[in-house]
Structure 1
Amino acid sequence: MTDETHSRRWRLILGTAAEQELGALGSGADTNIDRALSALYDVDDEGAAGNRSGGLRSSAPRVARWLGDIRSYFPATTVEVMQRDAVQRLNLTQLLLEPELLEAVEPDVHLVGTLLSLNRVMPQTTKATARVVVEKVVREIEQRIANRTVAAVSGALHRAARVTRPRLRDIDWDRTIRKNLATYLPEHRTVIPERLVGHGRKAQAVRRDVVLAIDQSGSMAASVVYASVFGAVLASIRSLRTSLVVFDTEIADLTDQLDDPVEILFGTQLGGGTDINRALTYCQSLISRPADTLFVLISDLHEGGIRAEMLRRAYAMRQAGVQIVVLLALSDDGAPAFDHDNAAALSALDIPAFACTPDKFPDLLAVALDRGDIQSWADMEAAQH
């Protein structure tokens, strides 16, 4: 990077306050970039413009032009960050209710979360446009995760159906060796396989039940989006019986909408309190085969209900044979905010609690459905990153 390019970038970052030391911007394009940055970042806590003339104010046309500008000058990933900052810093939430503005926005998971939080106040004229925006993001996520999820889950279910007299091509050599380590002959440096372990033949019968319980409080918006898409993908696998429940202080069972993740998302009501204990009570009623059930609770664990009852119920489910995983977040947003005391209490009950990115969730499902050690898998993933 040349000194000139270095100075230009710092000038754009720092604004006109740095012009005396770094010099003026040369090109018209740089001036336009500077103006776009000013409109968003040169605004104080009271919403007044700072050193450079800026601010988007409450004007949909002005915001629409600004959105067009930033899409011209910045890559899509940067545009998504700037849009998210605009909603948070400049209180543009109400402007997102205008169809013309939505058409100019670069869709992403966080925008979907914002739109879903406005679902109850959104006029009918805007809902059609909002649905198009949400559907575009959902389809992109499906393309990203669907094939890998189906492959990982189907492979785990296939491996779970073990046979003790397999044909040669069906032998699971890794598990066979582990099962026969007691017959290792050092002088021959080999294992005598007294017991063979094989992969079972794939069948169409339902092998495992999966219950997804999703906290729909406002802080969990991205997790709700990803979990809804994963729920729809899992529902397409015949050997799984998938249920999906969303909750705050109320509970909505959206299992019958799993064929359409967009419909699921519009069935959520982001915001409000959280009653995890009540959600666990309902989910318990869905479980008829505890030993064959994977229960995934996606929540930041900020319990507004009865904490002791929540822990007691989780322990009872665990003791009944239900495999439980608590995801503090299912998103790409980095380390989440969560209730550390509740997470530690669940971990003490042998219920792992950790955050997971969407790209790693298929691997997590495979480990869980193969009845592997989920906590060890999570620790290993954390150590690698």
Structure 2
Amino acid sequence: MNVIDPGAAPSGPTATPGMTTCTAADDEAARRWRLVLGRYAADELSVGQQDQGLERSLSYLYDREYTARGHRTGGGDRAGGGSGRSAGLGGSQPHGVDVTALGWLSEAGSLFPRETFERMQVDAVSRYGLTELLQDDTAIESLEPSRELAVAMLQVRGSLNDRAAAGLRRVIQRVVDDIVRRLRPRFATAVNGRIDRSRRSMHRVARNFDWKRTLRANLGRVDADGRMTVQDVRFSARAKRTLTWDVILLVDQSGSMAPSLLYSAVCAGILSGLPGVNVQLYLFDTSVVDMTHVADDPVTVLMTAQLGGGTDIARAVRYAEQQVRNPSRTVVALVSDFYEGGSVSNLLAGVRRMASSGVTMLGLAALDEAAEPAYDHGTARLLAECGMEVAALTPERFAEWLGEVLT
């Protein structure tokens, strides 16, 4: 087996076409490692002209990781002299380049793919404290709004000054508006009424299309090749709800619940605007906060929420039980990771009482930042045994689930 020096070009009788391919791959690997390692690799790996912008943007943000660990960021010659290269991690600041947070944001946004840029924004706010981004109108408009960015900003909200908090509100508003546009049609379709297949609809729209009845109505129009000519298209009407449902949302606001809190606030806002649904919104940790008066304003809910602290689900369930007026027309939806810091026995007793009285009990398990279920399976199983339907659902599926309950 030949041993190939990645830094040497193949020559002489030992060179083969395969070695040329290997060297090209090694060059690409070296390029990537240079970007990963930064100036620590400067003595061995150079930065190509095409990568200088990438190097500058990465260094501006991620050199903060080394600074936090106590590495030097200034210049200075290497011990023993020699090349005169800096062994520190001083910022790479070519003449005429703006390396402020705004300048970094503008440059990074133009250099990296959208998903990478979104991740860098999250790191900038949540890990490296670049909250000055929230104090500049131009920077706020340059930010790429995403669920991940909103969650990261909510988690550092308590450390922001008034100006940065105002900027945060604008970013959260953009993220919420985007989610609402996507989710509102799902909730409206799911909750406004169930399909009534006993009546034909005058509203010939796709969501009312009844394919089963359409097939039956056109069975006599199938040719010898099995192709059907459809002349009679059937649509189903939607049954209208005449009674109001009370939907009580209990949302865990402990530290791990930021992603779920974001979607819960949006869902509460959407439900508040639907006819026939009376929304009550309560946030809880070791105490319960009534947010019903602003349930129709997700941004205010999120800016008011106090992420962190412990969890007393039993207290929240007991509080919800006291708000029930008509058990058979009430849904209590608990959004939590089910890690109970209070009394599990009291929690189970409260769920059992409400379920026995006719209240529909729903448990929405928390989703992490990757939209993966993250909850206490043991407590969830006990809650299910007491009469609560428990599921880990995306907001879209929650809309459908709630629609099935209310119609």
SS, match of residue 194 in structure 2:
helix
Are 2:48 and 1:26 equivalent residues in the alignment? Answer: yes
Residue 57 of structure 2: aligned partner:
36
Deviates more, 1:1-10 or 1:218-227: 1-10
8 Å contact kept, 1:211–1:283: yes
8 Å contact kept, 1:330–1:358: no
Residue 341 of structure 2: aligned partner:
304
Residue 212 of structure 1: aligned partner:
249
Who wins on radius of gyration, i.e. which is larger?
2
Residue 139 of structure 1: aligned partner:
177
Q: What are structure 2's unaligned runs of at least 5 residues?
A: 1-20, 73-86, 93-98, 203-207, 214-235
Cα 1:45–1:302 shift into 2, 3 Å: farther
CA distance in 2, matches of 1:212, 1:253: 10
8 Å contact kept, 1:39–1:53: no
SS, match of residue 296 in structure 1:
strand
Residue 319 of structure 2: aligned partner:
282
Query: Which letter does structure 2 place at the counterpart of 1:33?
Result: L
Are 2:69 and 1:47 equivalent residues in the alignment? Answer: yes
Are 2:295 and 1:258 equivalent residues in the alignment? Answer: yes
Number of residue equivalences:
337
Query: Which letter does structure 1 place at the counterpart of 2:189?
Result: A
Cα 1:62–1:367 shift into 2, 3 Å: same
SS, match of residue 392 in structure 2:
strand
Deviates more, 1:354-363 or 1:269-278: 354-363
Cα 1:346–1:136 shift into 2, 3 Å: same
TM-score with structure 2 length normalisation?
A: 0.70
CA distance in 1, matches of 2:199, 2:179: 39
Query: Which letter does structure 2 place at the counterpart of 1:158?
Result: R
Where do 1:343-382 residues align within 5 Å? 343-370=380-407
- Please list the CA deviations of residues 212-252 of structure 1 after superposition, one character each: whole Å capped at 9, or x if unmatched: 11111121112111111111111111022222111112222
Are 2:144 and 1:80 equivalent residues in the alignment? Answer: no
8 Å contact kept, 2:330–2:360: yes
Q: What are structure 1's unaligned runs of at least 5 residues?
A: 177-198, 371-385
- Please list the CA deviations of residues 85-107 of structure 1 after superposition, one character each: whole Å capped at 9, or x if unmatched: 334443x1765674569625433
Cα 1:173–1:82 shift into 2, 3 Å: closer
SS, match of residue 324 in structure 1:
strand
8 Å contact kept, 1:326–1:354: yes
CA distance in 1, matches of 2:187, 2:390: 21
8 Å contact kept, 1:324–1:352: yes
8 Å contact kept, 1:110–1:221: no
Report the CA distance between 1:62 and its aligned residue. 3.7
SS, match of residue 362 in structure 1:
helix
- Percent of counterpart pairs with the same letter? 34
Report the CA distance between 1:168 and its aligned residue. 5.9
8 Å contact kept, 1:212–1:296: yes
Query: Which letter does structure 2 place at the counterpart of 1:12?
Result: L
Cα 1:363–1:201 shift into 2, 3 Å: closer
8 Å contact kept, 1:226–1:331: no
